[in-house]
Amino acid sequence: MRIAVPKETRAGERRVALVPESCKKLIAKGMQVGIERGAGEGAYLSDDAYQAVGVTIYSDAAALLSEADFVCKVQPPTVEEVDRMRSGAMLLTTLVPVRNLDVVRKLAEKRISALATDCIPRTTRAQSMDTLSSMANIAGYKAVLIAASELSKYFPMFMTAAGTIFPAKVFVIGAGVAGLQAIATAKRLGATVTATDTRRVVAEQVQSLGAKFVGVESEEDAQTATGYAKELSAEFYRKQAELIAAQCAANDAVITTALIGGVKAPRLITREMVQKMQPGSVIVDLAAEGGGNCELTRPGETVIENGVKIIGPLNLPATMPKDASTLYSRNLVTFLLEFWKDNRFNLDLKDEIIAGALVTHEGQVLHAGARAALESEGKA
């Protein structure tokens, strides 16, 4: 099987899908790996490092893609990249199907079997393949560094000759992987941390990191069978809004990480809530790409409202490209080797991981959300 790793083309993307250590493992299993010249440069990985483990370097991206049986990427491919892939090939990448309908349509047209790492079920068996968690961990860490850098106060307590400076207060919304890493990082920097989540099952995890958990008392189950948060009742959200408003007003830095189904960002912080925060406070909205948890968030920008900075960072893992590429690459290799049987990749449609991740296959769109959105477009 010939695996291709093209250079990422999205602006600001510095990661690479496979690092040399991973390529070595795949080659040892009998696979051939080709990579576009310079694909690893953004992550400080030279072409020489790839060649040293037996990877073939391609100067022509079109030739690389057209010859590949299996393409590995970090970002969703462009329509043009899909056009270059041969019909019937396989693709493994972050795809977010409902946000990239043109690409999904083209993948189906080209009869590509597209496997989305962001659709892999969150099960114990699939944990080591979960790129969302690997990248969310980095995002949660980096979000706290941004908040600490932009805040008008110290994070830790300082006792000086000029008197004592008390620790900053940080509020984290969402206690998934990104949120838990944000809590841990803020605590390591010396802040006082409070966190909330619609899933009360995570309260113990929050408390184990030294933070205080606050949540809405409810009998509603906020977690799907696949481990994601789901939408709840209007009454629940009314109570949640009251809790969030009070916490935003009482804290110096707010970090939001909430996504429904791993894709849609619920609107949790209103303009009115921001206006009641102390000037000099900071909001770092990690859900910016999904529309933002704050009403005032502008993806990729910093907005100032009543002296409060609302920061909407995009693609934070790409700002730590070396470690991010290594972790992402290890996830992909684990996935590939899990289904490598008899010297070929076994696309077992009955396997729960394959079934969850497979977005397009044999000309059909299998992802329910993307299929519904495409059908809706066709009726418009």
Domains (range + CATH), the chain: 2-129+320-379 (3.40.50.720), 137-314 (3.40.50.720)
Task: List, run by run, the mean pLDDT of 10-residue segments along the chain (380 residues).
Answer: 97 97 98 98 98 98 97 97 96 96 97 97 94 96 98 94 95 96 98 94 95 85 59 84 96 95 87 97 96 96 97 97 98 98 94 97 96 80
Question: Taking Cα atoms as reference points, which of 69, 3, 8, 62 lies closest to residue 39?
Answer: 8
Catalytic residue flag (residue 125): no
CA distance 134 to 273: 32
Model pLDDT, residue 260: 83
Helix axes 101-109, 368-379, angle to 10 degrees: 100
Among the options 133, 134, 240, 247, which is catalytic? 133
Residue 375, number of CB atoms within 10 A of its CB = 10
Catalytic residue flag (residue 228): yes
Model pLDDT, residue 380: 44
Model pLDDT, residue 57: 98
β-pairing, 158-160 with 163-165? antiparallel
CA distance 376 to 103: 16
Catalytic residue flag (residue 122): yes
Q: Give the global pTM.
A: 0.92
Model pLDDT, residue 224: 58
Among the options 44, 46, 60, 127, which is catalytic? 127
Model pLDDT, residue 39: 98
CA distance 206 to 133: 17
Among the options 75, 228, 281, 325, which is catalytic? 228
Catalytic residue flag (residue 127): yes
Among the options 14, 22, 118, 130, which is catalytic? 130
Name the token pair of 339.
């289904």
Q: How far is CA 298 from CA 179, 288, 307, 312, 314, in A?
A: 20, 7, 16, 6, 10
Among the options 14, 84, 122, 199, which is catalytic? 122
CA distance 378 to 212: 48
